[in-house]
Structure 1
């Protein structure tokens, strides 16, 4: 099986696995209004992945990283992010706050990997420039999402607005979420650069 077929194969299986998570999420969510608002961007990203994949096949690593956020976000949509059963992790790090949303924001940053990969393999820019572009793209997306989140929460108001915002009383929630997005991006780009160096070393040998 060639590289393109392997990429499409893993995309198919990841999508099939996501369909199971989606079905689970859709069954008796905490709030259908919040669920719909949260699930729309997830389905939009999933559709975009498939549309782009018709012309460009990402690496298996890129596909896996992209589906981490899709999965976490869809689980969060079911419970609302502040109410996801995540006590084991919160206890592990000694926090009374539900940090599921922080982990989900970290996973958004993982999209920096496929963004940079696309730029590099399409030869649209150098590796260094592609890495910088991907990092800044994620940081811009993170800031933009926080603005949309604030707008929706203000528009919905009441418990639904609070549930969608998921700040859990933290006045610095937006800034911390953007920080987690950025850390996720830096982590995924470090992985990309490490793989690039390993590949270069292998070719030299």
Structure 2
């Protein structure tokens, strides 16, 4: 486990340094963005070592507290969150802006992993347990969509579903979920904002973006 930690940490550092170099090459000395990113990288490395020292069973025992706390933070964004660029995604903590949806990614991993540990059976998922797991995923996803933050909501949903699939979901169940997703795409598209639609279109067809 220790070896895996260092491999993951080293990979993340290399990717982060590459990003900082790209930022510096674009902005040079005209911006302090690269310096801020460097500071955050150092803080993140220190945080990674601290988290590595924490027994994961403590997080397991605190799973519901962490999950509910993340939901409260997401609700607070709707009430007292900072607005910018047409979205309300941040909470102000002194001189720092905090995005609760990032914390929600971690809590979804913890709560779904613990749910799998308690409810999964060799013969597959029972319908009731499957619905409960999807609700645990859907609640934070719905709150993040309300900010609106389509990208982060999609990542949280993907994290939760991948954990369920990897745990041993039957192909028949997976097929039903996939068909439901395909059917719901036109409905979701109707409620998307224009800039969200533009991002998806430019992702599927980069040449459609004049920039």
Higher relative contact order (CA 8 A, sep 6+): 1
Please identify the structure whose Cα radius of gyration is greater: 2
Q: TM-score range by the shorter chain?
A: 0.3 to 0.5
TM-score by length of 2: 0.36
Instruction: Give the TM-score, by structure 1 length.
Output: 0.36
| Higher strand content, 1 or 2 | 2
